[in-house]
Chain A
């Protein structure tokens, strides 16, 4: 099973800041990594798939990069609606696994 470790657990930021979220895998795989945003009381929303492809309707301020074991989600300039929890998920091998999440909170 591929274990995903996200860091940091919490990121305290201000609107307009650049946020960088990390996801590290316990073993190398290709670029089959996705990122999701989840707000309280809502289902997760797909942001990025295949490490760097934005899902339909996702703003350009969200970008993903990485391969192998190290992946990054970058939010170039935080908007008020971006404060949420972010999860990575590998879609390379079964079982499909998620990271533990990074909470982006308002400083």
Chain B
């Protein structure tokens, strides 16, 4: 059974940094592209970043480009999102999501909450 477990969320001040992790199990992690999708209150889902199975290719939404970095450690079956220069508008529930084939999300974690506030 595919399992994705996020961690690392919390309360951070504007301008601060945070690193999210997603521990994967139940599938061949290196074969899946992975993404971080966030859901802010009252806003639509937003895919903020994706990375291919090898880790060689990444994509970022314009809203986070230059501030967030996605990475993965296939030896540890773990996905990361390093977030810098956090803003109030980054406040959201951050989901780790997997793609077994195309870029639709066929597996999801339960999310980790990031709150950016002074």
Q: Which A residues have a C-beta under 8 Å from some C-beta of B? A: 32, 34, 36, 42-46, 49-50, 55-56, 87, 89, 91, 94-101
User: How far apart sit A95 and B35, CA to CA, in the bound complex (Å)?
Assistant: 12
- Known contacts A94-B59, A95-B59: A46-B104 contact under CB 8 Å: yes
Closest residue of chain B to A36, judged by CB?
Answer: B105
Of B16-24, B41-49, B84-92, which binds chain A?
A: B41-49
Chain B, interface size: which category?
Answer: 20 to 34
In the complex, the answer to whether B102 meets A43 with C-beta atoms within 8 Å is: no
Consensus secondary structure, chain B interface = loop
- Known contacts A43-B95, A89-B45: A96-B106 contact under CB 8 Å: no
In the complex, the answer to whether B105 meets A89 with C-beta atoms within 8 Å is: yes
Q: Which residues on B sit within 8 Å (CB–CB) of A96? A: 35, 47, 50, 103
User: How far apart sit A44 and B110, CA to CA, in the bound complex (Å)?
Assistant: 9
Consensus secondary structure, chain A interface = loop
User: How far apart sit A101 and B42, CA to CA, in the bound complex (Å)?
Assistant: 11
Tell me if B109 is interfacial: C-beta within 8 Å of chain A.
Answer: yes
Q: Which residues on B sit within 8 Å (CB–CB) of A99? A: 44
In the complex, which residues 1-56 of chain B have their Cβ closer than 8 Å to any Cβ of chain A? Answer: 35, 44-47, 50
User: How far apart sit A100 and B46, CA to CA, in the bound complex (Å)?
Assistant: 10
In the complex, the answer to whether A97 meets B104 with C-beta atoms within 8 Å is: no
In the complex, the answer to whether B103 meets A91 with C-beta atoms within 8 Å is: yes
User: How far apart sit A99 and B35, CA to CA, in the bound complex (Å)?
Assistant: 18
- B47, B59, B105, B106 pick with most chain A CB within 10 angstroms: B105
Q: Contact check: which of B44, B47, B95, B106 meets A95 at CB < 8 Å? A: B47
- Known contacts A43-B109, A95-B59: A100-B44 contact under CB 8 Å: yes
